[in-house]
Amino acid sequence: MIAFRVEQWRAWAPGLSTQQNWHDWAQAPTTVTESAQQPECLSLPPMQRRRLSRLSRMTMEVASPLCGEDEQLPFVFGSRHGETTRTLNLLHDVAGGQPLSPTHFGLSVHNAIAGQWSLLRGQRGESVAIAGEADTFEHTMLEAATMLAAGAPSVLAVIAEEMPPAAYDGWINDVPFSYAVALRLGRIDVLDASSTETCWKLALGRHEGEATTCVWPHALDFLRALNTAETSLAHTWKTRQWQWQRTR
């Protein structure tokens, strides 16, 4: 079992850019209409923004407000599918016999966004990229918790997925719309008594029999619970059952 507190959070999806937007969404969750909209990323200079993919911009948009200008934070990036749009473009080049762009290839790998975060924000600390299955969110939280246990005062965790191109229809069916969720996590042993931050425990058990698929991606379901009075969640994937419990 692991435990942590949620110090701050941010999230982004088409049409949902503020915490009030997400609070309203959490009261009656619904599928967001996908569009080509992407975050402005005003925390970065225009030249740097133009070079980012949409998934990178989504990540920077939610992560940047949670990290101070001169603050160094461990960073965990979780995404089950990663840069699907960029990867598909590379596959088209391969199929057409075109030479591959080393830059595009380098930015398509799964830890590229974590590297961009380090470079653009001057972050010199530990960073990790996680690619799991439908429970990538829980694996990301587990990785962040190990950093807290190793002594980090806070850890920044981001889970992001972009709606994949139509070519992936039939293979990717767990991204209802593009989204990015950033959580700044801290240890519960330093929680101030007057704090309004929420604390959570996460335990892993074994699941037997038929699994009930969560209606929403696990990160969005947790965000929904974070914005409501819900105190517990059960996320099942294959033989793994993740039990969430709000303790404060």
pLDDT one-digit tens code per residue, 14-41: 999 999 999 999 999 999 998 888 898 8
pLDDT at 192 over 80: no
Which tops the pLDDT comparison, 100 or 21? Answer: 21
Q: What b-and-e string marks burial along 169-199, b requiring 16 or more CB atoms within 10 Å of the CB?
A: eeeeeebbbbbbbbbbbbbbeeeeeeeeebb
**Into how many domains does the chain fold?**
1
215 compared with 10, residue with greater pLDDT:
10
pLDDT tens column, 46-78: 888 888 899 999 999 999 999 998 899 999 999
**When comparing pLDDT for 195 and 70, which is higher?**
70
Mean pLDDT, the chain, rounded, equals 91
Pairing of strands 75-78, 154-161: parallel
Whether pLDDT at 196 is above 80 = no
- The structure tokens listed for 47 are 């030249």
Q: Enter the pTM of the model.
A: 0.93
pLDDT at 231 over 90: yes
User: Whole domain around residue 201: which residue ranges?
Assistant: 2-246
DSSP letter (8 states) at residue 130: E
CATH of the domain at 207: 3.40.47.10
CA distance 4 to 188: 5
d(CA 19, CA 32): 16
Given a cut of 80, is residue 212 above it in pLDDT? no
Question: Residue 194 pLDDT more than 70?
Answer: no
Q: Residue 193 pLDDT > 70, yes or no?
A: no
Asked if pLDDT for residue 211 goes beyond 90, the answer is: no
